[in-house]
Every structure is written in structure tokens, then in C-alpha cells.
Amino acid sequence: MTQETRLLLRHADEPGLHRLEVYKRLGGYQAQERAYRDLEPDEILKELEDSGLRGRGGAGFSMGKKASFLPRGEMAKYLCCNADESEPGAFKDRELMQKNPHQLIEGIAIAALAAGAQHAFIFIRGEYDLQGDILDAAVAEAYEAGYLGENVLGSRCNLELVVHRGAGAYICGEETALLDALEGKRGNPRLKPPFPAVQGLYGGPTLINNVETLSNVPHIVANGAEWFKGFGTEQSPGTKVVSVSGCVQRPGNYEVELGIPTRDLICGLAGGPPDGREVKAFYPGGSSAPVLTSDDLDVPYSFEAMAEAGSMLGSGSIIVADDSVSIAQMALRTARFYHHESCGKCTPCREGTNWTVKMLERVVRGEATPMDLDIVASVQENIIGHCLCVLGDSMAMPVGSMVQKFRPEFEELLASTGPVLDEVSRIGAVVGAPETLGAST
């Protein structure tokens, strides 16, 4: 029986953990007190870099390194916490913010000290209204107790923290689009370079990190880099909150050490597909990740192993499709999402997502020709790497992988004479009554 290794989610269901009093009783804010009283920013940066903590938002870049890219010296610098979790399959930040908002605030306060930022923002997606309210209340408590505001904990550092709610746009999770949205504009990605670490929010150096990344910071500062490296693998240290959903019996967030077999997550913790069904394919890192098949269930769940298997760990969100799911329909669902969310700034993404949807609709209706599959594949190739941001790539990679790995299934649809599938339905029925599948009790 696979066990979770709860570090960030430990005591998550403790009543009142979202309140400062309870969080402090369980050891909260000790790391921030230590950082603001005893540590120099460079010492914190070094600790973060030595810990090998990799960004949990999708790219997996070293957090400490990213923070060290910010120029030194007196100037207006900013820290943005990316809480615009909108990737299909991802819901770990929601859980972390809802259950333990102070852990995030403490992480932000320490990271801001290390980066020299005096202004921090939490950019939370507008749909997360409950979590936004919880954060608002927690931030107010932290101000009251002196963990935020002027002269934080009696030091000479000031830190303003604003919870900023978005209004429904996946693209705002892209870091430069997030900056535009935070500046009050339409969320369009910017050309990089300059990277946000040099020229970000309001033109100032800006550190942007994911909720889970920042929630790890107090633990690293309290216990040291060596302790943190004791979890996970050499290249992927630490624990990971993994969102498992789709055709599994116990969907939800599970915190595990990086590097455990993916099978333990899907079939162990999440209970695997419903009885009588088998895993057919899964997205290992949110809907942007190329799909893997049941042959890949034993791949270790780490950044490096997933990359080696031809996919990516991404935000750490597994969506499982069992053998009742039509891959062509799944590809269409995926493409529709990116088509809807494309901001329209770059042509390959705007047009490519549109045409992919149209062609996949023809495929599932049984109206396509074999040539169409090649066109679908070539459109994906022509999107990748040709846009300002990776939204287009995020459709091209999974859709391309599905056409490649499940081509016979697509071809079967082409060979049929009439409409095979209704546009909005799928081959398999609902995998089960929600009572038996979703409830965790």
C-alpha cells in the first residue's frame, strides 16, 4: 500500500488551519521569524539554490536560480505568486491555498526578503472565489500580526502583499501574460527576453513563482537544503502534490516523494480505473503534456524520468483515461480548450488551434480522409516553437502524441462510412455514478 509523504499537506484537515493562530501553534511563521531576524538575503538564496527546489508550476526551473537572476541593489522589485491554476487536470494550488493559506504567505514573505522585493502579489484565478476570500482573510491576519506591512517583524524591510483576482483566462497563468493582466491590461504574453527577472511588472525586476513552489520555502529555510534533498530524487528533490483525476476511483490531491512509480499514484493512491477497466492513456503533467500509455505506468514520477519518457511532469497533474474513452474525442476536447483560451496574438497558435479543432471534429464525425491525420500532425509541428508563449505548443504536444500513439484508433474512425460518434458524446458511458467514484469518505 503506497503511503503519502505529507509535508505541505500535513495537518491540512486540522480544523482552523487557515487561521493564523492554529498555523502558528503548529510551528508556522518560525521560519519567517528566523529569516527576518538572523539571515541575510544571500544566505536564503543560497539555501534555496542548494535545495534544488524546482518550480512546481510547469517548467520545473530551479527556484533559487531564478531568484538569483534578479539584479541586486536598491530599486523597485516585485514578487508575483502565480495562483492562476487553470491547466486542465491541475487543482493542487486550490487545495494548498484553501487549506493552508499562511504557509503560502510565509513562503512569499521569505522569498520576497531573499529577492529584495517590497511589493508582492498573489494572482489568483477569478473562479477561485472561496480560496480568494480565505487568502484575503489570512493576509489581513498576517498584516495585523506584523508578518506583512511596514518594518516586518521589527526589521527594516517592508512588504506589501495584495491578493489580485483574475477574471477567467487560462493564458494569465503564462508568466508574462500574468504581468500584463496584473498591470490592468488584456492578458497577452510578452516577447522574451527581457525575462521578468530583469524587466517584469511595471518594468521592474520580478520574481514569479507558483503557489506550491513558494509553499515549500518555509520548510527549506527551517530545515536546510540538505534535509530537503533527503526527499525525492537527485534531480527532483522534495515532495510533490499530485492531482489525480479522470477515470480513477479516488480522484484528489496526493502528496508523494518525487520519483515513486507512477503506477503507485494512479493505481495505488487514486485507486486505479473502475473495476473491469484498464488504464489506456494518461497525461502525466496536465493537459499540456504528451500522453503516455499503460506501458509507461512504471516510469518514476520525477521531472527527469518523465522527460526521458517523452513527456513532462508539468504542474504534476495526472488525468487518466481508461479503455472506455475515445482518444479522438479526448484529443478534440483538449484542442477545443486551447482554441478557446488562445489569446490570438500569435498566428500559429490562433489559427493552428482553430484548424486542429475543425479537423478533429471531422475525424470524430467520420468525415475525414487519411490525409487529414497527416495534416493534423503537420499543423502541430508547425505550431511548436513558433509563438511568443507555449500555449500553442501545449495543444500541439498532447494532440500530436495522441495521433502518433493511437493512430490505428483514428484510422478506424476514418474507415467508417457514416457518422460514428455524436459530436459531444464519447464511446464509453459515464464511468460510474459520482457517489461511488468521487466521494472520498
Partner 1 sequence: MSADQGDGGGRQPALGEPTDLSPGPTPLPRPDGRPGLPVDPALVTGRAPEHDPERIPELHEVDCPPDLRERIEELMSRYPDRHSASIPALWEVQRRYGWCTPDGVRQAAAVMRVTPAYLESVASFYDLLRTEPFGNHSVLVCTNISCWMRGGDELLGAFCEAAGCDAAQAAHGGASSADGEMFVSGFECLGACDLAPMASVDERYFGPLTGEDAATIVGQLRAGEEVLPERSLARRPLAGGPDGEPDPRVKDAKGPNR
Binding residues for partner 1 restricted to 213-252, rule: CB under 8 A: 218-219, 221-223, 227, 230-231, 243, 245-247, 250-252
Q: Which stretch binds partner 1 (CB under 8 A): 66-74, 147-155, 317-325, 380-388?
A: 317-325
Task: List the one residue out of 214, 171, 187, 193 whose CA is nearest residue 80.
Answer: 214
Q: What is the footprint of partner 1 within residues 258-297 (CB under 8 A)? A: 269-270, 283, 287
Instruction: Please give the size of the binding site for partner 1, defined by CB under 8 A.
Output: 105
Considering the complex, state which of residue 226 and residue 370 has its C-beta at the smaller distance from partner 1: 226
Q: What is the footprint of partner 1 within residues 372-391 (CB under 8 A)? A: none
Phi and psi based region of residue 405 (left: phi greater than 0; alpha: psi -120 to 50; beta: remaining): alpha
Q: Is 12 in the site for partner 1 (CB under 8 A)?
A: yes
Considering the complex, state which of residue 55 and residue 218 has its C-beta at the smaller distance from partner 1: 218
Answer for which of 330, 391, 397, 402 binds partner 1 (CB under 8 A) is 330
User: Grid coordinates in use for 119?
Assistant: 511589493
Considering the complex, state which of residue 100 and residue 311 has its C-beta at the smaller distance from partner 1: 100
CA distances (Å), origin 115, targets 56, 165, 296, 327: 18, 23, 39, 45
> What's 237's DSSP letter?
B
Task: List the one residue out of 330, 361, 355, 354 whose CA is nearest residue 423.
Answer: 361
Answer for which of 39, 55, 81, 85 binds partner 1 (CB under 8 A) is 85
Q: What is the footprint of partner 1 within residues 96-135 (CB under 8 A)? A: 98-100, 102-103, 106, 119, 125-130
Residue 284 one-letter amino acid: P
| Least distance (Å) between residue 12 CB and partner 1 | 6
Q: Is 10 in the site for partner 1 (CB under 8 A)?
A: yes
Q: Computed from CA positions of residues 250, 251, 254, 260, in that sequence, does the dihedral angle turn out positive or negative?
A: positive
Phi and psi based region of residue 242 (left: phi greater than 0; alpha: psi -120 to 50; beta: remaining): beta
| Least distance (Å) between residue 415 CB and partner 1 | 25
Q: What is the footprint of partner 1 within residues 418-437 (CB under 8 A)? A: 424-426, 430-435, 437
Q: Is 89 in the site for partner 1 (CB under 8 A)?
A: yes
Q: Is 13 in the site for partner 1 (CB under 8 A)?
A: yes
Q: Measured at the alpha carbon of residue 68, what is the angle toward residues 63 and 74, in degrees to the nearest 5?
A: 135
Task: Report helix angle 92-99 to 101-115, nearest 10.
Answer: 100
| Least distance (Å) between residue 52 CB and partner 1 | 16
| Least distance (Å) between residue 162 CB and partner 1 | 5
Q: Which stretch binds partner 1 (CB under 8 A): 141-149, 297-305, 325-333, 352-360?
A: 325-333
Distance CA 335, CA 8 (A): 33
Q: Is 87 in the site for partner 1 (CB under 8 A)?
A: yes
Task: List the one residue out of 311, 436, 312 whose CA is nearest residue 54.
Answer: 312
| Least distance (Å) between residue 391 CB and partner 1 | 13
Task: Report helix angle 92-99 to 129-144, nearest 10.
Answer: 40
Distance CA 223, CA 228 (A): 7
Q: Which stretch binds partner 1 (CB under 8 A): 9-17, 50-58, 60-68, 405-413?
A: 9-17
* Grid cell 490562433 in the structure block, residue: 350
> What's 295's DSSP letter?
G
Answer for which of 7, 39, 225, 266 binds partner 1 (CB under 8 A) is 7
Q: Is 347 in the site for partner 1 (CB under 8 A)?
A: no
User: Grid coordinates in use for 33?
Assistant: 521569524
Q: Is 301 in the site for partner 1 (CB under 8 A)?
A: no
User: Grid coordinates in use for 51?
Assistant: 535545495
201 SS3 class: helix
Considering the complex, state which of residue 170 and residue 303 has its C-beta at the smaller distance from partner 1: 170
Q: What is the footprint of partner 1 within residues 17-56 (CB under 8 A)? A: 23, 26-31
User: Grid coordinates in use for 215?
Assistant: 509553499
| Least distance (Å) between residue 64 CB and partner 1 | 17
Q: Which stretch binds partner 1 (CB under 8 A): 80-88, 142-150, 369-377, 381-389?
A: 80-88
| Least distance (Å) between residue 33 CB and partner 1 | 11
Distance CA 305, CA 430 (A): 32
Considering the complex, state which of residue 371 and residue 429 has its C-beta at the smaller distance from partner 1: 429
* Grid cell 500553442 in the structure block, residue: 392
| Least distance (Å) between residue 311 CB and partner 1 | 16
Q: What is the footprint of partner 1 within residues 172-201 (CB under 8 A)? A: 181-187
Give Cβ neighbours of residue 246 (< 8 Å, ≥ 6 apart).
89, 282, 318, 319, 320, 321, 322
| Least distance (Å) between residue 170 CB and partner 1 | 7
Task: List the one residue out of 352, 354, 356 whose CA is nearest residue 368.
Answer: 356
